[in-house]
Amino acid sequence: MAYSDDLPGHGRYDYAPLPDRADYDWPDGRRLAVYLALNLEHFAFGEGMGAQLAPGGPEPDILNFAWRDYGNRVGVWRLLNLFEDLDLPAAVLANTAMYAYAPEAMAAFRARGDEIVGHGRTNSERQGTLDEAGERRLIETCRDRMQAEEGVAPQGWLGPWISESGVTPDLLEEAGFSYLLDWAHDDQPVWFRTRSGGRILSVPYPQELNDIPAIVARQMNADAFADMIVDNFDEMRLQARHGPLVMGIALHAYLVGQPYRLKHLRRALKHIRDNLGDDVWLTRPGAIAAHAAALPDGVVP
């Protein structure tokens, strides 16, 4: 019998061992780029998907819908105040449904100058289940709505539920997006090939320092999630001496906007703010993507 080690692949990037990569700096010689990603999401009532506080009953699932809606009515404002108190920049990963449902929340982050990243229409649906024409229509419709609301087209995209089809990076590049956040496969930006012969940058987005997997899936306590953030920051500062790294922190207003969790998140973010030094770049993912894209060819794998 003949054996083969060849497995189906995506063909988007090649394997590149971290120690063998070219070294480079973030702006001003900094080594660790840190960004906050606040997911603002709106959900259909009585249908579709959504994180669950407790096992949901038949639709309409009042318990879980109302729990998630707490984030847009209350939690988001507490997080906004926290970011203001600590003078922290943020990236808002927004469903376009937020513009109609909670325009005041979107306006508040716009006024801060925060980056608005495409995050689909609603987290009640996945884009990866659509046919190519439907997915293209979704991406382009979200892009156009965000450009109309923000005055500038979004450069970044995170699929609802990290959902991709086999052609998502191609469709994003063709729609004018410069980077995507779906892949949690690296601690540095990585170029993805696209079918046009072009490319789109993958910026690291966390699935470990992410409150949904940590708190909802693994049922971690608020203090343990905050400790994860602190420990990850301290360790990545050490690791970044050997090469530039990206540390993202993914937050959802209905989770960490709860007061007892906010207390511990405040402690973690204050630790970062108080220990910036000249080696840490507190930034947004769009700035990370722009800096990496401007480096000479071959530096970013």
Residues 157-202 have pLDDT tens digits of 999 999 999 999 999 999 999 999 999 999 999 999 999 999 999 9
Instruction: Give the model's pLDDT for residue 3.
Output: 72
Q: How many domains does the chain have?
A: 1
- pLDDT of 253 strictly over 70: yes
The predicted pLDDT at position 5 comes to: 82
Torsions phi, psi of 93, nearest 5?
Answer: -95, 100
Structure tokens at 10: 């995506």
CATH number for 93:
3.20.20.370
pTM greater than 0.85 (yes/no): yes
Q: What is the mean pLDDT of the chain?
A: 96
Q: Kindly state whether residue 300 falls inside one of the protein's structural domains.
A: no
pLDDT value, residue 6 = 86
Range of the domain at 240: 23-40+61-293
Q: Does residue 267 sit within a domain? A: yes
Does residue 6 lie in a domain region? no
Q: Is residue 13 part of a domain?
A: no
The answer to whether residue 47 sits within a structural domain is no
Over residues 112-121, mean pLDDT: 98
216 inside domain = yes
Q: How confident is the model at residue 48 (pLDDT cuts 50, 70, 90)?
A: confident
Residues of the chain above pLDDT 90, percent: 93
223 found inside a domain = yes
Q: What is the mean pLDDT of residues 253-266?
A: 98
Q: Is the pLDDT assigned to residue 1 strictly greater than 80? A: no
Cα 179 to Cα 48, 164, 189, 276: the distances in Å are 27, 14, 9, 26
60 upstream amide cis, omega within 30 of 0: yes
